[in-house]
Protein backbone atom coordinates (compact mmCIF):
# COMPACT_ATOMS: atom_id res chain seq x y z
CA UNK A 1 0.00 0.00 0.00
CA UNK A 2 2.84 2.41 0.83
CA UNK A 3 4.44 1.62 -2.50
CA UNK A 4 1.19 2.47 -4.31
CA UNK A 5 0.98 5.80 -2.44
CA UNK A 6 4.58 6.65 -3.39
CA UNK A 7 3.91 5.81 -7.03
CA UNK A 8 0.77 7.97 -7.05
CA UNK A 9 2.66 10.86 -5.46
CA UNK A 10 5.45 10.58 -8.04
CA UNK A 11 2.95 10.46 -10.92
CA UNK A 12 1.11 13.47 -9.50
CA UNK A 13 4.36 15.43 -9.24
CA UNK A 14 5.33 14.52 -12.80
CA UNK A 15 1.92 15.59 -14.13
CA UNK A 16 2.19 18.84 -12.16
CA UNK A 17 5.67 19.58 -13.52
CA UNK A 18 4.55 18.94 -17.09
CA UNK A 19 1.66 21.34 -16.59
CA UNK A 20 3.92 24.03 -15.09
CA UNK A 21 6.55 23.80 -17.83
CA UNK A 22 3.99 23.74 -20.60
CA UNK A 23 5.18 20.47 -22.09
CA UNK A 24 1.74 18.90 -22.20
CA UNK A 25 -0.54 20.08 -24.98
CA UNK A 26 1.75 22.88 -26.01
CA UNK A 27 3.12 23.54 -29.44
CA UNK A 28 4.66 26.14 -31.62
CA UNK A 29 2.03 28.19 -33.45
CA UNK A 30 2.36 28.62 -37.19
CA UNK A 31 0.38 30.54 -39.76
CA UNK A 32 0.39 31.83 -43.30
CA UNK A 33 -0.54 35.41 -44.11
CA UNK A 34 -1.79 36.04 -47.65
CA UNK A 35 -2.66 39.42 -49.12
CA UNK A 36 -5.86 38.84 -51.08
CA UNK A 37 -6.19 42.37 -52.45
CA UNK A 38 -5.22 45.98 -51.89
CA UNK A 39 -6.23 49.27 -53.40
CA UNK A 40 -5.55 52.96 -53.03
CA UNK A 41 -8.62 55.18 -52.94
CA UNK A 42 -9.02 58.74 -54.19
CA UNK A 43 -8.51 60.12 -50.66
CA UNK A 44 -4.96 58.75 -50.43
CA UNK A 45 -5.85 55.78 -48.19
CA UNK A 46 -4.67 52.25 -48.90
CA UNK A 47 -6.82 49.28 -47.88
CA UNK A 48 -5.15 45.87 -47.47
CA UNK A 49 -7.31 42.72 -47.35
CA UNK A 50 -5.58 39.56 -46.13
CA UNK A 51 -6.15 36.04 -44.85
CA UNK A 52 -4.61 34.49 -41.74
CA UNK A 53 -4.52 30.69 -41.84
CA UNK A 54 -3.56 28.90 -38.64
CA UNK A 55 -1.48 25.99 -39.98
CA UNK A 56 -0.45 24.78 -36.53
CA UNK A 57 -2.03 22.56 -33.91
CA UNK A 58 -2.44 25.26 -31.24
CA UNK A 59 -4.81 28.22 -31.19
CA UNK A 60 -3.37 31.65 -31.91
CA UNK A 61 -4.56 34.02 -29.20
CA UNK A 62 -3.00 37.14 -30.76
CA UNK A 63 -1.07 37.99 -33.91
CA UNK A 64 0.80 40.94 -35.32
CA UNK A 65 1.49 41.14 -39.04
CA UNK A 66 3.83 43.66 -40.68
CA UNK A 67 3.33 44.77 -44.27
CA UNK A 68 6.08 46.29 -46.42
CA UNK A 69 4.39 48.97 -48.51
CA UNK A 70 6.55 50.13 -51.41
CA UNK A 71 5.80 53.33 -53.28
CA UNK A 72 7.62 55.47 -55.81
CA UNK A 73 10.55 56.95 -53.93
CA UNK A 74 10.40 54.91 -50.74
CA UNK A 75 8.67 52.41 -48.49
CA UNK A 76 6.58 52.20 -45.38
CA UNK A 77 6.01 49.45 -42.81
CA UNK A 78 2.43 48.96 -41.62
CA UNK A 79 1.45 46.78 -38.63
CA UNK A 80 -1.94 45.23 -37.96
CA UNK A 81 -3.07 42.77 -35.29
CA UNK A 82 -5.88 40.37 -34.51
CA UNK A 83 -7.01 37.74 -32.05
CA UNK A 84 -8.42 34.22 -31.75
CA UNK A 85 -7.49 32.16 -34.79
CA UNK A 86 -8.31 28.56 -33.91
CA UNK A 87 -6.02 25.74 -35.04
CA UNK A 88 -6.82 24.65 -38.58
CA UNK A 89 -8.96 27.68 -39.44
CA UNK A 90 -8.60 30.68 -41.72
CA UNK A 91 -9.91 34.19 -41.05
CA UNK A 92 -10.04 37.25 -43.27
CA UNK A 93 -9.04 40.67 -42.02
CA UNK A 94 -8.28 44.09 -43.40
CA UNK A 95 -6.44 47.23 -42.47
CA UNK A 96 -6.20 50.72 -43.91
CA UNK A 97 -3.76 53.59 -43.60
CA UNK A 98 -3.16 57.05 -44.99
CA UNK A 99 -0.55 56.76 -47.74
CA UNK A 100 -0.47 60.51 -48.27
CA UNK A 101 -1.28 60.24 -51.98
CA UNK A 102 1.98 58.38 -52.64
CA UNK A 103 1.77 56.03 -55.61
CA UNK A 104 1.93 52.54 -54.04
CA UNK A 105 3.67 50.03 -56.31
CA UNK A 106 3.35 46.83 -54.27
CA UNK A 107 2.62 45.47 -50.81
CA UNK A 108 3.99 42.29 -49.25
CA UNK A 109 3.93 40.52 -45.90
CA UNK A 110 7.27 41.33 -44.28
CA UNK A 111 7.05 39.64 -40.87
CA UNK A 112 4.69 38.46 -38.15
CA UNK A 113 4.49 37.35 -34.53
CA UNK A 114 2.10 34.79 -33.06
CA UNK A 115 1.12 34.39 -29.40
CA UNK A 116 -0.65 31.49 -27.71
CA UNK A 117 -2.99 31.59 -24.73
CA UNK A 118 0.04 31.00 -22.49
CA UNK A 119 1.47 34.36 -23.55
CA UNK A 120 4.45 32.82 -25.35
CA UNK A 121 5.30 34.48 -28.67
CA UNK A 122 7.05 33.24 -31.82
CA UNK A 123 8.20 35.16 -34.90
CA UNK A 124 7.95 34.23 -38.59
CA UNK A 125 11.23 32.30 -38.37
CA UNK A 126 9.75 30.05 -35.68
CA UNK A 127 11.94 31.52 -32.93
CA UNK A 128 10.54 32.27 -29.51
CA UNK A 129 10.71 36.00 -28.84
CA UNK A 130 9.89 36.01 -25.11
CA UNK A 131 11.00 33.74 -22.29
Q: Which residues pair with 10 in a beta bridge?
A: none
CB 56 within 8 A of CB 90: no
Domains identified in the chain, total number:
1
Q: Classify residue 61: in a domain, yes or no.
A: yes
Give the tens place of pLDDT for each residue, 72-127. 888 889 999 999 999 999 999 999 988 888 889 999 999 999 998 887 777 777 77
Q: Classify residue 2: in a domain, yes or no.
A: no
Predicted TM-score (pTM) above 0.85: no
Q: Classify residue 17: in a domain, yes or no.
A: no
Q: Which of 66, 63, 52 is nearest to 115 (CA)?
A: 63
Give the tens place of pLDDT for each residue, 42-72. 888 999 999 999 998 999 999 999 999 999 8
Q: Classify residue 98: in a domain, yes or no.
A: yes
Rounded mean pLDDT, 29-38:
93
- Separation of alpha carbons 67 and 88, rounded Å: 23
- Separation of alpha carbons 119 and 109, rounded Å: 23
Q: Classify residue 69: in a domain, yes or no.
A: yes
pLDDT computed for residue 67 by the predictor: 94
Range of the domain at 52: 28-123
Amino acid sequence: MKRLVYILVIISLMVGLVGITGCAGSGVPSATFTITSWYEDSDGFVDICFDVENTGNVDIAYYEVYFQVNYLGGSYRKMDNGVNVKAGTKVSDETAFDAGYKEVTNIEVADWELSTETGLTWNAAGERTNH
